[in-house]
Structure 1
Amino acid sequence: MSRAVWFVAGAGMGVYAMIRGRRAAEALTPDGLHDRWQALGVGARMFREEVAQAKTDKELELRERFGPAYDRTPQLSSGLDTPSLVPHEDYSTDESKEGTH
C-alpha cells in the first residue's frame, strides 16, 4: 500500500511541475510578456482612477463639513487692489528734499 501512495504522490508532483513549467514558458514568450505589460498598464490606470475618485469624494466631504471656510479656491480679481508684478516707483516731487542737496 505504501508504494501506491508514493506512486500517486510522485505522479501528482509530476503533473503539477509540468503545468507550472508550461505556464512559466508561456509567460516568457513575446505574446505572454506583452499580455503582462498590458495588464500592468490596466492595473495602473485603475489605481489612478480610484485615487482620483477618492480624492474627489474626500474633498466634497470636507466642503460639506466645513462649508465656505474651507473653500480656498483662488479667485481672480481685476481691480486696483490687485498686486502688480512690476515694482512701483514713486516719481512724486517733494519740495522739502530738493533744497537739501
Structure 2
Amino acid sequence: MNRGVWFVAGAGAGVYAMARARRLAEAFTPEGLRDRVAGLTLGAQLFAEEVRTGRDEKETELRHRLGLTLDGPPELDAPTDPTTTRMLEDTP
C-alpha cells in the first residue's frame, strides 16, 4: 500500500507540473503577452480613474469645509460696524 500512495502522489505532482508548464508556455506566446499587456493597461486606467475620482471628491469636501466656491474665494461682506462704514466713506 505504501508504494501505491507514492505512485499516486508522483502521478499527481507530474500532472500538476505539466499543467503549470503549459500555462507558463502559453503566457510567453505573442497572444499571451498581448493579453498580459492589455490587462496591465486596463488595470492602470482603472487605477487612474479611481485616483481622479478620489481627488475630485476630496477637493469638493475641502472646498465645502473651507467655504470656497468653484468660482473662487468667497466674497467679503460689507462691514456692519457704523464707525468702519464712516471711515470708509471719508477716505478719498
Give structure 1 stretches of 5+ with no counterpart. 75-101
- Inter-partner Cα distance in structure 1 for 2:46 and 2:57: 16
For the aligned residues, what is the CA RMSD? 2.0
Residue 17 of structure 1: aligned partner: 17
Q: Provide the secondary structure at the position in 2 that maps to 1:32.
A: helix
TM-score by length of 2: 0.71
Residue 27 of structure 1: aligned partner: 27
Give structure 2 stretches of 5+ with no counterpart. 74-92
Shift of 1:8: 1.2
TM-score by length of 1: 0.65
Higher-helix-fraction structure: 2
Residue 91 of structure 1: aligned partner: none
Highest Rg: 1 or 2? 1
* Aligned pairs (5 A) from 1:89-100: none
The 1:18/1:67 distance shift into structure 2, 3 A limit, reads same
Q: Could you give the per-residue CA deviations for residues 10-63 of structure 1, whole angstroms, max 9, x where no partner exists?
A: 011001101100001101111111111111110110010000000001111111
- Inter-partner Cα distance in structure 2 for 1:72 and 1:24: 55
* Aligned pairs (5 A) from 1:1-101: 1-68=1-68, 73=72
Of all paired residues, the percent bearing the same amino acid is 58
One-letter identity of the residue aligned with 1:11:
A
Q: Provide the secondary structure at the position in 1 that maps to 2:38.
A: helix
